[in-house]
Structure 1
């Protein structure tokens, strides 16, 4: 990092160095921070003063955060670095309770794993080994059958991944495929092994030979490929999951020969945004950057009913042709009118060939359809599945190819009836 100017801060002469180290931690957590921003942050603190922690927080926030997905990471690192003097011990207690593999690992809160890794600089402190009696027999463990890193990453929750794990998960998602079977069609095409006689071609061929029947032409059904329509919730509670799903959709949209006629993608939070054209960009980072710039409601509120109404009114007839398969990615936590939400879901269901709902809340074993939004939406989907990990996205192909695969819908509908 470039040498910083010698700025005199009367409140704390070491504050310049602390801001510099804080910026390094943010950069290790994935925020694009260069020397210029660090200098701007020091000058901003000098101008704003250091009399109130809230003002100090928003001063650094204005200098270091320029993307919605970085707000939560900044908040976690700021809280642990500036507000807790014993943040190192706090991070060790919160994030690394199973360093030796003895205790059960405690799931980290959103962005805390990345914050811990940034503040600790990827290093673990020396932990004394437990005293072992000399006469105690050593136990050798055969680790040949243990879960590999890639297998563990497939089942890890997107929201609990560190920066390195998220990067590796995105590379794995880029290799995933989502094939689809063709739809039966009444239209036919010429075929050498068809089971039906093409009388028109047969008669035309005989007319060329003076009415003599020389060869019987055959035909087979012409395959018809459906569209894939994705409606992705980008509200605050869904932000991390949505970004991973969009990485997966970018790979699907650019996969040749997967079978989809066209992949349409929409994001919604407080408004509906069509990002289909951005998925056509070959570079996934550029594609998602452009999509994020167009969707101005990242990590905002949620108005599922209103956004579905806009889709049904403005886009349904344009993109739902050819028996489209619809993927709805949302947690269903909507505070709007449940009756209106149910009607829009019913209309969406009737317009689609198959409606599959991916909900990351299914990662919890005790999940039950208690929220009013979930109760209104659940009866109008064909399948209700989890969508919080790579493994759950891999299972999408099975849900699409098998019309009888309803996921967890039947079990949750039974809970609704019993309740």
Structure 2
């Protein structure tokens, strides 16, 4: 087995130094940890003590974690930093995908790669060359590194991305577009290229010429642009996917010439939150930070039926006029009454021109609509598609442009 270089973590036993190094790792992993919190943590640990490891864990968590979505990153960084050698071995293998080994037995879970990157920053993880000899087992090489970086990111699950990979993915998402064709209105207007005859205007022109019709006045139907309405599930199982989709929607709402009249965005978990006004902010990081501050139920539970009822009651008439297209981003794992969910989904479908459901659970080939929430929602959507990576969002443009696109709905309906 290849010997890995040790991490540069202080071994002098000084409590304050170790907590300071741990705070630096948390800051590298993405947590907003300042010097004031480090001082508070040192004082809290000295006051409470750490005879039991769980007590030590929760004291530091109370000092360093201020947002629900940071709990997972804190937990993974804590395990790596405070001496779990086998866990560290798994994480080094997960960040070095050249050789099949430990990572085949335990794949990186959400936030583990970000925590490992923070602690392994600057540590050399390249595997040295191994001389071949007779009788030795040939090492199997994973060719994933031969792929272009963008191609690999297109197919990589949002939940398994590291900090650097997510930053690169966000840059790719800003370049995506979601064009829409205009809708034909029943209203008409005079135009030289029209293929319809405007009778009243033709008669008015004839009266000005003594009643003789010399030419017909052409007209055509007006064109109007629909609204795009996004309903994003921000519960614990959907948080990372919804962040990526909202980043994509920010790019769509600020793209000139995409055709959408307006892009409306709502988040839901245990309550419905309208974050549309934040999408108008040009700085995407500031926009999503403000949206996250407004939505108080990030990483919470899921009550899809209750939140859809709030949307249908309070917002449907305001944002659904003119043939709106609805993007429903959720895994469908609901705790509400399924009968109430069916009624709300039926009403949503009746008021929308098209309802497209993006479900990250479709990344699994063995996925089947067994959950009662999915069974209740699936019959009342027009298209059912995956939404777990960049490639799935790229395919969304084709789904919107094709009115008969149903995605995976027909196949899954057969399994119900």
TM-score, normalising length: structure 1: 0.88
Q: Deviations over 1:294-352 (max 9, x none)?
A: 11000000011111111111111111110111111000001221111111111111111
Q: Deviations over 1:88-134 (max 9, x none)?
A: 324224x2463347998664211111111111115333533221369
Q: Is 2:392 the counterpart of 1:414?
A: no
What pairs up with 1:91-130 in 2 under 5 angstroms? 91-93=91-93, 95-96=94-95, 98-100=97-99, 107-125=107-125, 127-130=127-130
Change (3 A) 1:31 1:180: same
Separation in structure 2 between the aligned mates of residue 287 and residue 86 of structure 1, nearest angstrom: 40
Change (3 A) 1:184 1:104: farther
Check whether the contact 1:97–1:103 (CA below 8 A) recurs between aligned residues: no
Change (3 A) 1:63 1:103: closer
Of residues 200-209 and 265-274 in structure 1, the stretch that sits farther from structure 2 once superposed is: 200-209
Superposition deviation, residue 211 in structure 1: 5.1
Separation in structure 2 between the aligned mates of residue 111 and residue 283 of structure 1, nearest angstrom: 25
Superposition deviation, residue 241 in structure 1: 0.4
Separation in structure 1 between the aligned mates of residue 338 and residue 83 of structure 2, nearest angstrom: 41
Counterpart of 1:278 in structure 2 is 278
Counterpart of 2:344 in structure 1 is 344
Counterpart of 1:33 in structure 2 is 33
Separation in structure 2 between the aligned mates of residue 126 and residue 349 of structure 1, nearest angstrom: 53
Change (3 A) 1:126 1:256: closer
Q: Deviations over 1:253-279 (max 9, x none)?
A: 111221111111111101111111111
Change (3 A) 1:184 1:103: farther
Superposition deviation, residue 189 in structure 1: 2.1
Check whether the contact 2:189–2:219 (CA below 8 A) recurs between aligned residues: yes
Counterpart of 2:335 in structure 1 is 335
Counterpart of 1:9 in structure 2 is none
Superposition deviation, residue 83 in structure 1: 5.5
Check whether the contact 2:95–2:113 (CA below 8 A) recurs between aligned residues: no
Counterpart of 2:14 in structure 1 is 14
Counterpart of 1:263 in structure 2 is 263
Of residues 232-241 and 214-223 in structure 1, the stretch that sits farther from structure 2 once superposed is: 214-223
Q: Deviations over 1:1-40 (max 9, x none)?
A: xxxxxxxxxxx94222211221121122112223333233
Q: Deviations over 1:193-215 (max 9, x none)?
A: 11112233334445555656565
Counterpart of 2:9 in structure 1 is none
Change (3 A) 1:192 1:53: same
Counterpart of 1:247 in structure 2 is 247
Give 5+ residue unaligned stretches, structure 1: 1-11, 135-140
Q: Is 2:72 the counterpart of 1:68?
A: no
Q: Report the number of matched residues.
A: 396
Q: Is 2:277 the counterpart of 1:293?
A: no
Separation in structure 2 between the aligned mates of residue 159 and residue 226 of structure 1, nearest angstrom: 31
Counterpart of 2:311 in structure 1 is 311
What pairs up with 1:374-385 in 2 under 5 angstroms? 374-385=374-385
Partner SS for 2:326: strand
Partner SS for 1:185: strand
Counterpart of 2:369 in structure 1 is 369
TM-score, normalising length: structure 2: 0.89
Partner SS for 2:311: helix
Give 5+ residue unaligned stretches, structure 2: 1-11, 135-140
Check whether the contact 1:269–1:298 (CA below 8 A) recurs between aligned residues: yes
Partner SS for 2:27: helix
Separation in structure 2 between the aligned mates of residue 324 and residue 313 of structure 1, nearest angstrom: 16
Separation in structure 1 between the aligned mates of residue 169 and residue 124 of structure 2, nearest angstrom: 23
Counterpart of 1:3 in structure 2 is none
Separation in structure 1 between the aligned mates of residue 83 and residue 13 of structure 2, nearest angstrom: 18
Check whether the contact 1:107–1:160 (CA below 8 A) recurs between aligned residues: no
Change (3 A) 1:102 1:190: farther
Superposition deviation, residue 71 in structure 1: 1.4
Change (3 A) 1:87 1:274: same
Separation in structure 1 between the aligned mates of residue 102 and residue 66 of structure 2, nearest angstrom: 38
- Root-mean-square deviation (CA), in Å? 2.4
Superposition deviation, residue 235 in structure 1: 0.3
Of residues 215-224 and 378-387 in structure 1, the stretch that sits farther from structure 2 once superposed is: 215-224
Of residues 181-190 and 271-280 in structure 1, the stretch that sits farther from structure 2 once superposed is: 181-190
